[in-house]
């Protein structure tokens, strides 16, 4: 058995190691953290999307999911803050931003919300409705269904498995997903030791960067 006492970093050819477990799943070593972030990661106020990036949460939402976000949209064009689409929208979950008619879909139901640009917004979306900046817009007729794929931030995963072209332009200050009362994702804006911008997920202890060829920005 290897003694990891005093070890602060482990690196293999594939990159930095975050956690080491044995065959039974027992954690033998975990990268030391500083506050909400591992050592070497730099906290950022926000992550910026310029209309070419997307982050895969790897979380498949269902009718018990709650999504919380703090964001600023910097374009008045209709674009996805996040989303995953299903056939006929029977199990879609989306935040589609528009000035007056953006569709916030949730498991077979939808509401249209206006979201102003260049303003910092808070939003919480679940089976009860969308609470945007403290005001609830209620859903009705929510189905007990599961989305076909994982939810994507900065775009929406479409029914073919690709990304919708209406990529988000703006800033994200925070993002969380819950499965009922259990936290499924908790994203902290940061940059990694190589200066790559993205999110540290406090739930899975993983770094999330863009899945497209264009890196995220931040400030």
**Residue 33 pLDDT > 70, yes or no?**
no
- Annotate 7-30 with b (16+ C-beta within 10 A) or e (fewer): eeeeeeeeeeeeeeeeeeeeeebe
- pLDDT computed for residue 87 by the predictor: 96
pLDDT: which is higher, 9 or 125:
125
Q: Which helix (H) or strand (E) element contains residue 106?
A: strand 102-106
Contacts 24+ apart (CB under 8 A), 41-44: 41/190, 41/191, 41/192, 41/193, 41/200, 41/207, 42/190, 42/191, 43/188, 43/189, 43/190, 44/189, 44/190, 44/191, 44/197, 44/218, 44/219
Distance separating alpha carbons of residues 75 and 19, to the nearest angstrom: 39
**137 CB neighbour count, 10 Å cutoff:** 14
Average pLDDT taken over every residue of the chain = 91
Q: Would you place residue 201 in the very low, low, confident or very high pLDDT band (cuts 50, 70, 90)?
A: very high
Nearest to 143 by CA among 102, 96, 88: 88
- Domains of the chain with bracketed CATH: 47-218 (2.60.120.200)
- pLDDT computed for residue 10 by the predictor: 77
Task: Tell me what the mean pLDDT of segment 162-176 comes to.
Answer: 98
**Residue 25 pLDDT > 90, yes or no?**
no
pLDDT: which is higher, 18 or 125:
125
Kindly report, residue by residue over 90-108, the tens digit of the pLDDT.
Answer: 999 999 998 778 999 999 9
Sheet holding 79-84, edge to edge: 55-56, 152-153, 79-84, 93-97, 102-106, 109-113
- pLDDT computed for residue 144 by the predictor: 97
Kindly report, residue by residue over 53-85, the tens digit of the pLDDT.
Answer: 999 999 999 999 999 999 999 999 999 999 999
Distance separating alpha carbons of residues 46 and 49, to the nearest angstrom: 10
- pLDDT computed for residue 2 by the predictor: 73
- pLDDT computed for residue 48 by the predictor: 98
- pLDDT computed for residue 102 by the predictor: 93
HEC sequence for 141-195? CCCCCECCCCCEECCCECCCCCECCCCCEEEEEEEEEEECCEEEEEEEEEECCCC
Kindly report, residue by residue over 50-61, the tens digit of the pLDDT.
Answer: 999 999 999 999
Distance separating alpha carbons of residues 126 and 184, to the nearest angstrom: 14
- pLDDT computed for residue 3 by the predictor: 63
- pLDDT computed for residue 35 by the predictor: 58
**Residue 147 pLDDT > 70, yes or no?**
yes
Q: Would you place residue 14 in the very low, low, confident or very high pLDDT band (cuts 50, 70, 90)?
A: low
Q: How far apart are the first and last CA of the chain?
A: 43
Three-class SS state of 198 = strand
């Amino acid at each position: 058995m290897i003694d990891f006492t005093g070890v602060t970093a482990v690196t293999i050819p594939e990159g930095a190691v975050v956690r080491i477990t044995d065959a039974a799943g027992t954690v033998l070593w975990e990268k030391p953290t500083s506050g909400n972030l591992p050592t070497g990661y730099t906290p950022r106020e926000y992550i910026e999307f310029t209309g070419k990036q997307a982050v895969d949460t790897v979380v498949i939402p269902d009718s018990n999911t709650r999504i919380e976000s703090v964001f600023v949209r910097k374009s008045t064009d209709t674009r996805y803050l996040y989303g995953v689409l299903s056939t006929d929208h029977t199990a879609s979950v989306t935040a589609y931003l528009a000035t007056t008619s953006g569709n916030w879909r949730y498991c077979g139901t939808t509401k249209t919300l206006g979201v102003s640009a260049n303003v910092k917004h808070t939003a919480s979306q679940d089976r009860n409705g969308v609470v945007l900046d403290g005001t609830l817009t209620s859903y009705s007729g929510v189905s007990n269904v599961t989305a076909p794929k994982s939810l994507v931030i900065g775009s929406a995963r479409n029914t073919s498995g690709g990304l919708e072209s209406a990529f988000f332009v703006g800033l994200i200050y925070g993002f969380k997903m819950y499965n009922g009362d259990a936290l499924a994702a908790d994203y902290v804006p940061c940059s990694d030791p190589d200066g790559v911008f993205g999110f540290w997920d406090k739930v899975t202890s993983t770094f999330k960067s863009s899945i497209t060829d264009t890196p995220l920005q931040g400030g």
